[in-house]
Amino acid sequence: MDSQIDWHAARAALDWQLEMGVTETISDTPINRFEQIAPPPKAGVAQGAQAAVQPVSAASAFDPVTEAETLAQGAQDLARLQAVMADYPHCELRKGARNLVFCDGVAGARVMIVGEAPGRDEDRMGKPFVGRAGQLLDRMLAAIELGRDRAGAQSVYITNVLPWRPPQNRDPKPDEMAMMLPFLKRHIALANPDVLVLMGNVPCQALLGKRGITRLRGAWAEAEGLPVLPMFHPAYLLRNPAAKRDAWADLLNLRARLDMKA
């Protein structure tokens, strides 16, 4: 009788699982199906060598950064670089973004500005620095006779470390920056500016390997074979108006460098 009751209880439990959507059974212990079982050792192989044979993980063998480097180096112009970035599938940020934010301004400009990542307005319009921070940036550049809509020696070119907006405008994660860095370096090489301006901690971390914009700002450095000037991000200046004095000093520093190299 007890076994009959156990059978009915088990059947009821099974029916309940089917109603909940269970469609297949699994073993008592988890199985990593990404692991490839090593082939059996060949005849004559020493026992010690057999013990050294380990399963190879297909997941660990794949490196998204290596793939990004290969794709970036294969892009021979900015249009192709934008296309391969749009098709790059391994950065999860692309799934939640409306647009890939690639650039604005004039390619080939003497000054290339590298920001952090798109915000809400940038994600919506598909261009970097178009919100309140972008409007402040335009006024800052105009004060030293530069602009994204100007031609010739007065033009600038703008991009970001990340082309997709992070959720809630959070800081980029290290793996996200690592995947996008090969594309950024290729972007710089193809744009071929005379000077890089890094706005905020994220581009400084990406290209200089350093954080601490309060300490770094205003001091010339070098990255990708180019002179680099770290500056406060315009969004920071909106939150901390007292820092605009330092930003103005950095703009004058940039203007003097450009005039010296003219």
Encoded tokens for 180: 């996008």
pTM for the whole structure: 0.77
Positive or negative, the Cα torsion across 203, 207, 211, 213?
A: negative
The encoded tokens of residue 3 equal 């076994």
Supply the DSSP string of 78-134, one letter for each residue: HHHHHHHHHH----THHHH-SS----EE-TT-SEEEEES---HHHHHHTSSS-SHHH
For 206-256, the pLDDT digits (tens) are 999 999 999 999 999 999 999 999 999 999 999 999 999 999 999 999 999
Domain locations in the chain? 64-260
Q: What's the CA gap between 256 and 253, in Å, rounded?
A: 5
**Residue 242 has what pLDDT?**
97
Query: Distance between CA atoms of 66 and 220, rounded to whole angstroms?
Result: 30
- pLDDT, tens digit (0-9, with 9 covering 90-100), for 186-199: 999 999 999 999 99
Q: Which two tokens stand for residue 175?
A: 């793996």
Top CATH class of 64-260 equals alpha beta
Cβ partners under 8 Å of residue 158, min gap 6: 103, 104, 105, 112, 113, 115, 128, 129, 148
